[in-house]
Amino acid sequence: MRAVVMLSGGLDSATVAAMALDRGFEVSALSFDYGQRHRVELEAAVAVANSLGIIDHRTVAIDLRSIGGSALTGAIDVPKDEAGTEDAIPVTYVPARNTVFLAIALGMAEVVGARDLFFGANRLDYSGYPDCRPAFVEAFERLAHVATKAGVQGERFEVHAPLMHMTKAEIIKAGLALGVDYRLTHSCYDPAPSGLACGRCDACRLRRQGFETAGVPDPTRYRP
């Protein structure tokens, strides 16, 4: 029983990979070099895959810089020290990123014989991203059944988003119980060239708060 797991190198995706393994899946991990502003998360993805014993780990290059529209791929400042609101989509949203990534993961699933796809979507943490909602997951499952050879032949794909309704603290506790080494993960949207996290972007703030709420020491290396 094989699953394709989208592995960004972040805290959430590392936890999802561990969950898939715990459920008995053989994991094929998939990372994306999509033109993001830093390479740290790709290095983290390799480290996480190795630590979890995932042998099949592939990185697909796709340059989303060519369409721009995001602070993660273009010349737009990453917001710092700002409190997000659920009704606003922030500039860190990468247009249609999860749609594109899941489409590639779906193609890989057909190739490796997987019918289960895992990714780290979460609707409780502030993000405002439209492609991190249950409605998106349900819609993509319907697409998978009409857009693939396996689907039209009657096989069923399932898109798993096990973190969807979990808080960051709950995610951290679950991952620690499964042996995830969060020292290897990276969440920051705007790290220093050395890889140190900024500590001030939305991702860093959520991560820090998650460890504090979980009552667990934060292993993240932040800028002074």
Average pLDDT, the chain: 93
Q: What is the Cβ-side half-sphere exposure of residue 211, based on CA atoms within 13 angstroms?
A: 14
Position 171 in a domain: yes
Per the structure, the count of domains in the chain is 1
pLDDT on residue 83: 60
d(CA 56, CA 75): 34
Position 76 in a domain: yes
> In the predicted model, is pLDDT for residue 78 greater than 80?
yes
pLDDT on residue 82: 72
Q: What is the pTM of this model?
A: 0.94
- Give the long-range contacts of residues 87-91, CB within 8 A, separation 24 or more: 87/128, 88/128, 89/128, 89/129, 89/130, 90/127, 90/128, 90/202
pLDDT on residue 85: 52
pLDDT on residue 86: 55
Position 222 in a domain: no
Check which CATH number belongs to the domain holding 191 and give it: 3.40.50.620
57-66: per-residue pLDDT in tens? Answer: 999 999 999 9
The helix or strand, by DSSP H or E, that contains position 27, with its residue range, turns out to be strand 26-33
26-41: per-residue pLDDT in tens? Answer: 999 999 999 998 889 9
167-224: per-residue pLDDT in tens? Answer: 999 999 999 999 999 999 999 999 998 899 999 999 999 999 999 999 999 999 999 8
Q: What is the Cβ-side half-sphere exposure of residue 37, based on CA atoms within 13 angstroms?
A: 20
Position 110 in a domain: yes
Position 224 in a domain: no
pLDDT on residue 124: 72
Position 103 in a domain: yes
d(CA 53, CA 20): 12
> In the predicted model, is pLDDT for residue 12 greater than 60?
yes
C-alpha distances in angstroms, 24 versus 52, 82, 84, 116?
Answer: 13, 40, 37, 12
95-140: per-residue pLDDT in tens? Answer: 999 999 999 999 999 999 999 999 999 987 656 789 999 999 999 9
What domain range is 122 assigned to?
A: 2-214
| Stretch 150-157: mean pLDDT | 94
16-26: per-residue pLDDT in tens? Answer: 999 999 999 99
Position 166 in a domain: yes
Longest dimension (CA), the chain: 56
